[in-house]
A and B are shown apart, each in its own frame.
Chain A
């Protein structure tokens, strides 16, 4: 009995490891192997390409804007949802999950249907010379759409668990609303907030579907890193494609490490709070 049990354990572990190597580790190694196929000079040359540089720059801009919106919205929404009971609260909570359940391509398409030339607001926008689709604003909106739930989803349970007593104590001790927020609420939420920002950053930089629909893939103009990888690959420019992909892969690795560190902090803190 015991012997067969052990055999099974070994078989299952081996199976899981094989799976990991085949589907996670090997692809990751391939990315770097292909990126350095032409050696370090080839890698650096691909990075220095103006289109690659512009894609990196654009990705950073889009992600930066999306994160800022996410932090503000995430804090606001979770504050409302965790601290108040109001009509429409459940509705808001459900809506918050919409970006998770809708395919990003559909998300992007919805934006085109709203703000595109043939869209609802299209004529008005065109008349006022505001360009959203096939331009930076549309890409930011699309990225915000797909990353919207991350921060709020992280903060709502945290706020509900922590309660509002510390904030009440601060107010009774004479703090203003702003002092309370900066000195009590924000420090209390810091790890959860960072964690949410980290996740939405990873998603924002890696997003393909929604952004692809609204960007129009104009090389060097509305091409983010993810879009650039695809465009280069389609041009059979394998080294350049995998070079940009390697940057995204590195971002993923950094995110993973940061995630583990944050989770440890997080757990240590909630353990302390419970003690």
Chain B
């Protein structure tokens, strides 16, 4: 049975540094949840507290409804995977995987043949059968992490905790292993909590993302929810590059402040915040249209593989647009050219007139603005 975890008002300080500040969180049984955030956001501390490797100053961690604070880590039914694998260096792959079974008290320890059979099955699962007799130092990073996973799964945990498991691996291996982990998670009855600072990894793998910053939860939601409706500017910027353009709202019209009233778009919905706001536009949602009297000037055009990256100055403000590489030549853009920025999709955070709460507001697609 996979476990559900309930975190209530957990705080933890290291000296003057507040690593966790009254964090509350529900992790439903069977889900793969990503704790996402920059370093120092408290995500690893939270994971270690769930595991029992660290303890909270205040608050509760309930696993399947039972308070774990008094329980030693070994009784929590938790599997833990470390960023740097933490494999036992003096044991072979097979011995590493068997460890959790061999240290059980005699009454609950499987017999030798049974342990051997289970180790073989796990080696099969992580596709490392031929390497059973090797030592960790003789394996590649990806292989080591798979051994670490098999070792954690050997004790049949209800809860699998992974601390930046792919952090030390190169991009290609990280992708493969991530997908493999996702399949594995859905094949085994387990709840998984994955700590990562890589937003793509979290968006790709997790059923649910918990975005953390400065010891607090910024937003909880499915990858789609979080990406489409970021709760705060922090969430939006953490999930990917975005231009931040200072704007004035006049009615439903959005004007760039430092480009002398150049119109960027219309805000959707009737409840538009008034006054000065920040408009967030992802580079691929920003189009640049050549215009002799355009508000922006192109500075650089860089090709980064599938995309062309175009840096321009909107008044004194640098902005970045991206378009698929194959469309670069059709667009007719070149360095030094004057262009009109066209916001195809943007987000404004502001107090709505109705309830005064901060919320994202959509900026709609616009026709290129006529030079005014």
Residues in chain A within 8 A of chain B (CB atoms): 165-166, 168-176, 179, 183-184, 187-188, 269, 272-273, 275
Q: How far is the CB of B192 from chain A (nearest CB, A)?
A: 15
Distance, CA A263 to CA B177, complexed state (A) = 38
Instruction: Give chain A residues whose Cβ lies under 8 Å from the Cβ of B73.
Output: 171-172
Measured CB to CB, the nearest residue on chain A to B95 is A183
Decide if B103 touches A176 in the complex (CB within 8 Å).
Answer: yes
A-B contact count (CB 8 A): 66
Judge whether B90 and A188 touch: CB under 8 Å: yes
Which residues between 51 and 73 of chain B lie within 8 Å of chain A, taking CB atoms? 51-53, 72-73
Selected from B78, B84, B104, B137, the residue in CB contact (under 8 A) with A172 is B78
A269 CB, min distance to chain B CBs, angstroms: 8
List residues of chain A with CB within 8 A of the CB of B72. Answer: 171
* In the bound complex, CA of A170 to CA of B155 (Å): 12
A32 to chain B, nearest CB (A): 40
Q: Which partner residue on chain B sits nearest A170 by CB separation?
A: B99
A173 to B76, CA, bound (A): 10
A172-B53, A172-B74, A175-B103 known; A187 vs B90 contact (CB < 8 Å): yes
B53 in contact with A273 (CB, 8 Å): no
The reply to whether B74 and A175 form a contact with Cβ atoms under 8 Å apart is yes
Also in contact, A170 and B103, with CB within 8 A (given A165-B84, A176-B74)? yes
In the assembled complex, how far is the CB of residue A36 from the closest CB belonging to chain B, in whole angstroms?
Answer: 45
CA distance A179 to B154 in the complex (A): 18
| Cα A176 to Cα B99 with chains together (Å) | 12
B89 within 8 A of A: yes
Measured between C-beta atoms, what is the minimum distance from A164 to chain B in Å?
A: 9
Partner of B137, one of A171, A188, A273: A273
Q: How far is the CA of A121 from the CA of B151 in the complex (A)?
A: 56
Q: Mark B72-112, 1 if CB is under 8 A from A, else 0.
A: 11100011101010111110000000011001100000000
B residues in contact (CB < 8 Å) with A: 51-53, 72-74, 78-80, 82, 84, 86-90, 99-100, 103-104, 135, 137, 151-152, 154-155
Question: Is B89 a contact of A174 with CB atoms below 8 Å?
Answer: no
CB-nearest residue of chain A to B81: A169
| B89 & A169 in contact (Cβ 8 Å cutoff) | no
Residues on B with C-beta less than 8 A from A187 are 90
Determine whether the beta carbon of A165 is less than 8 Å from that of B82. Answer: yes
Q: Which residues of B contact A188 (CB under 8 A)?
A: 89-90
Nearest Cβ distance between residue A180 and chain B, in whole angstroms? Answer: 8
Contact B100 A173 (CB under 8 A): yes
Instruction: List 27 A-B pairs, Cβ < 8 Å.
Output: A165-B82, A166-B86, A166-B88, A166-B89, A168-B53, A168-B86, A169-B82, A169-B87, A169-B88, A170-B88, A170-B103, A172-B51, A172-B52, A172-B73, A172-B80, A173-B74, A173-B99, A173-B100, A173-B103, A173-B151, A173-B155, A174-B103, A174-B155, A176-B103, A179-B103, A183-B103, A272-B137
On chain B, the residues within 8 Å of A275 by CB distance are: 137
**A176 vs B104: C-alpha distance in the bound complex, in angstroms?**
9
On chain A, the residues within 8 Å of B88 by CB distance are 166, 169-170, 183-184
